[in-house]
Amino acid sequence: MKDVRFRSLMDIVHRTWLADVLDMDVNDEEGNWIGIDVVDEERGVELKARITGILSKNHHHFTVHDYQYSQFPKKYSDRTLFFALMKYELAKPVKELQRSEVTENIVTKREVVVVPWDALSYLPISRPRTGPYRYVNKPDYEALMQRKDLIEIKTKKGPIYIAKSFLKG
């Protein structure tokens, strides 16, 4: 399967999983290709995911479109926003997958960290031809994982670390 097709299909799988784990809803606004990924009445979560492990192509960063970072707080001013950074592993290489196999069952392991929107504010803006972007590189991710305000929730395929400010009440 081509990477672009896989990412589109896997994005749906990840959003659905995250919404379920966080007791939220997948955002279906505007077909949700230009909006925040997961919502409830008070919060919104933008999900960024990366394949890791032996089947990855060594992409060790998460890409945040700068328009998302700057515009979503205005668009969703009635909600507190967060980023969810997900690392995941698959049972087999993307190029060997059939469309029907791109389901939750192909994911063997996950690690997710959910942090406040402004936790990425220090990241510089890069301006490649297709940008501008903010990149969460490996050291940035590791620093986020060291935050003292994270609570671990165990799931079947791995932990999700959630900033205390995410929790209601």
Residue 91, number of CB atoms within 10 A of its CB: 13
What pTM, to 2 d.p., does this model score? 0.92
d(CA 52, CA 60): 8
Give the contacts of 22 (CB within 8 A, at least 6 positions apart). 38, 45, 114, 162
d(CA 81, CA 79): 6
Q: How much is the pLDDT for 111?
A: 96
**Residue range of the domain that includes 88:** 3-166
Contact criterion met (CB below 8 Å) for 162 and 150: yes
d(CA 53, CA 40): 32
pLDDT digits (tens, 9 = 90+) for 67-119: 999 999 999 999 999 999 999 999 998 888 889 989 999 999 999 999 999 99
Contact criterion met (CB below 8 Å) for 45 and 80: no
Q: How much is the pLDDT for 33?
A: 56
Domain count, the chain: 1
